[in-house]
């Protein structure tokens, strides 16, 4: 019996991997699994995620479907074509729900980067728990660096108090009706945001930051793959990429 509102996860995986030196980051190997498989398994294992839509490039749809089948990933609702930016890709997922006449089925939506592959299922559930309470919540961590706000020429204009500066991550989770209102308002006004939080902030609804720590990194450059491997090794407390090996002594 479900003890939470019906929740849809949208995995935004339609990026160009332009900073990966010719490698498609979603299919790059990370300790024996493609990056996207790590991401999808984490969302499939999250207790509060009921269904997953993957939004990817048109030329990657078949490859993503094959990954899902080969790795036996559950909870997949659909794999659909994305758009030229994240905002349109998520909108395509909403349109897919509309075509299926399921707008009233899902009460909350969690939006995530396909390349943010280290997100633990319990972190996803923590963000969703806060979203169920406040209607809008985001994974994040407090900045450990001093942040500078500059003008267009790079000259410092402001130094905000670091105690109030957070680095936004995903998942970003919202009440479904709230997110739809924010998305359609942005589309109507031609507003484009760099993350989904900004859409909801724009219609003056507060977004609660949920500290999940600095491990929740996104694969953007080749160096990030090295860092992700180190994080997985740190979690397992053993040599990199050996998490599935049998270490039982045969002596």
Summarize pLDDT for 87-116 with one digit per residue, the tens: 999 999 999 999 999 988 999 999 999 999
Contact between 138 and 172 (Cβ < 8 Å): yes
Summarize the confidence of residues 12-29 as an average pLDDT.
78
pLDDT of the residue at 247: 41
- The structure's pTM equals 0.90
Query: What is the pLDDT of the chain when averaged over all its residues?
Result: 91
**What are 211's strand-pairing partners?**
140
Report yes or no: 30 and 228 within 8 Å, Cβ to Cβ: yes
- Tokens 């994080």 sit on residue: 231
> At 251, is the secondary structure helix, strand, or coil?
coil
User: Per-residue pLDDT tens for 170-219?
Assistant: 999 999 999 999 999 999 999 999 899 999 999 999 999 999 999 999 99
Segments making up each domain of the chain, as ranges = 7-139+167-236
Question: Which CATH number does 7-139+167-236 carry?
Answer: 3.90.550.10
Q: Residue 21, SS3?
A: coil
List all residues 6 or more positions away from 70 whose beta carbon is below 8 Å from its beta carbon.
none
Region of residue 171 (left: phi > 0; alpha: psi -120 to 50; beta: else)? beta
């Amino acid at each position: 019996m479900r003890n939470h509102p019906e929740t849809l996860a949208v995995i935004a995986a339609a990026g160009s991997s332009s900073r990966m030196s010719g490698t498609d980051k979603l299919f790059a190997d990370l300790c024996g699994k493609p990056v996207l498989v790590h991401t999808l398994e984490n969302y499939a294992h999250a207790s509060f995620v009921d269904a997953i839509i993957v939004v990817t490039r048109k030329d990657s749809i078949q490859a993503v479907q094959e990954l899902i089948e080969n790795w036996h990933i559950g909870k997949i609702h659909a794999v659909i074509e994305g758009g030229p930016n994240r905002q349109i890709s998520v909108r395509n997922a909403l349109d897919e729900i509309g075509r299926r006449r399921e707008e009233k089925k899902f009460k909350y939506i969690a939006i995530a980067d396909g390349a943010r592959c280290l997100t633990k299922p319990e972190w996803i559930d923590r963000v969703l728990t806060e979203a169920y309470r406040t209607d809008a919540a985001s994974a994040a961590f407090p900045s450990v660096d001093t942040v500078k706000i500059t003008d267009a020429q790079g000259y410092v204009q402001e130094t905000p108090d670091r105690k109030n500066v957070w680095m936004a991550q995903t998942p970003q989770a919202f009440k479904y009706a709230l997110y739809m209102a924010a998305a359609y308002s942005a589309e109507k006004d031609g507003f484009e945001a760099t993350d989904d939080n900004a859409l909801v902030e724009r219609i003056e609804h507060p977004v609660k930051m949920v500290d999940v720590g600095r491990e929740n990194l996104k694969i953007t450059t080749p160096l990030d793959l090295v860092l992700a491997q180190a994080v997985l090794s740190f979690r397992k407390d053993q040599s990199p990429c050996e998490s599935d090996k049998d270490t039982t002594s045969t002596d």
